Structure formats: C-alpha cells, structure tokens
C-alpha cells in the first residue's frame, strides 16, 4: 500500500476576508476549499497554513511533515518573509513537491525557483478560458478530457516570462485571443514543481470538478519518491581498478 501524501495548502487569505464577493465564492477561504476536496481523496491528508499565522503557518514542524505544498498568493507576496521562502526553497530542493496556483506566479518562492521575473499579460473581464491538454500521457491529466473549459476567468497571456518548462501539460486559449502556457512542470533538485494557471479569486474555479481532478493528480505526481541518496563532491576512490 502506498504511503499517505501529506499536503499543506498555503494561502495568503486576504481577499476572502476583505471582499464580500470573494467571501461568497470561498466562505472557508481558497485554502479551505482545496483542502476539503483533497481530504476526500484516499491516500491524501491535507492541512492548511495562512500568511497571518505565526511564521505564516510554516513552522519547522509543519515543513518537516509536508510532502507537497500548494501555494496561492496575490496581494501580499511582499509580506512573505525571506527566511520562510528560504526554508521552503530548501525543502523543494530536498524533494518536497510544490504546486503554484494562478497569481502565485509572482510569489517569492516561484520566482526564486524559476530565476526569472515570471511576468505576464492580464485582463479581468470574466472571459472564457479553454485549457488544451498537450501531453495526454502525463499523470497530471489522468481522467481529464481533451480540454477543460472555465466559463469565466481572468485572462493571462503570453509572453509568460518563465524558463521553458521541462514538460508543458496545458496550453490555454482565451476568448479575447491570447494564449498561455497554463500547466508547467519543472524539476529543481529532488523536487517537482507544477504551475497551474486557473483560480482567480472572484470566480468559482476551484469548485469545478475537472480543476479539482488536475490538482489532485498534481499532488500525486509531485509527491516525493524514495530515490537514491547521492554523494556529492570529491570522490578520491574510483569504482573500477584503474592502472
Ligand atoms: Zn487573479
């Protein structure tokens, strides 16, 4: 039997407290909605952490018991302490999975891991988004149709200033004409990272079953594996007898 995957869903949790419109869509916060659907899955145990908790809810104890972290942030990226970002970064390199959602493209942790500005075009008029699957054999799209439609979303358009993904799983089309690389996989150290575009706070995107399925699949894909312990640095003794 597979080991339980321990997920920490991190959210800055500001829009839901400051805007009635957002509170209506996510009464328990975006983190609450995501943790709820993950906890209905066998083999996944999700807890939540938010910006205004001590150490942003990401204490050493929480970090050491997290296999996969999910990150949603938007208006308060600059309030996330560099010290915590450093710790999360180290955990990713050691093998923790990281799923960065929507406006998390501008989070300190994502920019640190990408090494680029991660800027993009955007427009907020509630237009249709269609996410096309471009890597149908990938575990993140298991059980997903050829495309996913979101009736009303914020538009993100290219160019998205990221390094070329190791694997690109989704490309989005927007009714206004733009396209976007909306499902991007990366390896950093022993860790796996998935950037998934949908999830503007005023639209009920994380209540959509196919979006929940993608995030659930991504958690399973990003979970650490029991790979070899590597030795780095000077290796004075060759494995073979060299004359
Ligand atoms: Zn947004």
Residue 1, pLDDT score: 47
What is the model's pLDDT at position 2?
A: 64
Quick one: pLDDT at residue 41? 97
User: What pLDDT sits at residue 122?
Assistant: 98
Centroid of ligand 1 to alpha carbon of 226 (angstroms): 36
* 154 alpha carbon – ligand 1 mean position (Å): 6
Question: What is the dihedral sign for C-alpha 116, 118, 119, 121?
Answer: positive
Q: How far apart are the CA of 196 and the centre of ligand 1, in A?
A: 12
Domains of the chain: 5-222 (3.40.50.880)
* Integer Cα distance of 97 and 100 in angstroms: 10
**Residue with tokens 């799983």, as numbered in its chain:** 169
* Nearest of 128, 131, 109 to residue 181 by alpha carbon: 131
Residues forming a β-bridge with 49: 10
Radius of gyration for the chain, computed over Cα atoms and rounded to the nearest angstrom: 19
- What pTM did the predictor assign? 0.97
CA of 122 to the centre of ligand 1 (A): 8
Compute mean pLDDT per 10 residues along the chain, 243 residues long, and list them. 89 98 98 98 98 98 98 98 98 98 98 98 98 98 98 98 98 98 98 98 98 98 92 93 91
Short-list 154, 166, 165, 164, CA closest to 197: 154
Burial (0-12, 13-18, 19+ Cβ within 10 Å), 232: exposed
| Number of C-beta neighbours around residue 81 at 10 A | 13
Å from CA of 41 to ligand 1 middle:
27
**What is the CA(205)–ligand 1 centre distance, in A?**
11
Confidence (pLDDT) at 52: 98
Ligand 1 center to 108 CA (angstroms): 16
- Tens of pLDDT, residue by residue over 26-54, are 999 999 999 999 999 999 999 999 999 99
Distance 202 CA to ligand 1 centre (A): 8
Reported as a single tens digit per residue, the pLDDT across 56-70 is 999 999 999 999 999
Taking alpha carbons only, the member of 214, 123, 220 closest to residue 176 is: 123
Specify the pLDDT at position 108: 98
46 Cα to the center of ligand 1, angstroms: 24
């Amino acid at each position: 039997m597979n080991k339980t995957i321990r997920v920490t869903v991190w959210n800055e949790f500001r829009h839901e407290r400051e805007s009635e419109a957002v509170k209506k869509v996510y009464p328990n916060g975006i983190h609450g909605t995501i943790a709820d659907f993950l906890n209905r899955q066998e083999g996944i145990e999700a807890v939540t952490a938010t910006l205004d908790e001590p150490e942003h809810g990401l204490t050493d104890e929480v970090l050491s018991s997290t296999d996969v972290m999910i990150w949603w942030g938007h208006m308060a990226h600059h309030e996330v302490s560099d010290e915590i970002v450093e710790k999360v970064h180290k955990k990713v390199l050691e093998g923790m999975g990281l799923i960065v959602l929507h406006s998390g493209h501008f989070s300190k942790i994502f920019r640190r891991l990408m090494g680029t500005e991660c800027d993009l075009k955007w427009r907020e008029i509630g237009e249709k988004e269609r996410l096309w699957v471009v890597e149908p054999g990938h575990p993140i799209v298991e059980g997903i149709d050829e495309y996913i439609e979101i009736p009303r979303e914020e538009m993100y358009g290219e160019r998205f200033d990221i390094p070329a993904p190791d694997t690109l799983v989704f490309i989005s089309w927007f009714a206004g004409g733009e396209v976007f690389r909306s499902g991007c996989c990366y390896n950093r150290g022993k860790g796996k990272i998935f950037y998934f575009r949908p999830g503007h706070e005023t639209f009920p995107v994380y209540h959509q079953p196919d979006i929940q399925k993608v995030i659930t699949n991504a958690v399973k894909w990003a979970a650490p594996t029991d790979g070899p312990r590597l030795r780095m640095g000077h290796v004075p003794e060759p494995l073979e007898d060299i004359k």
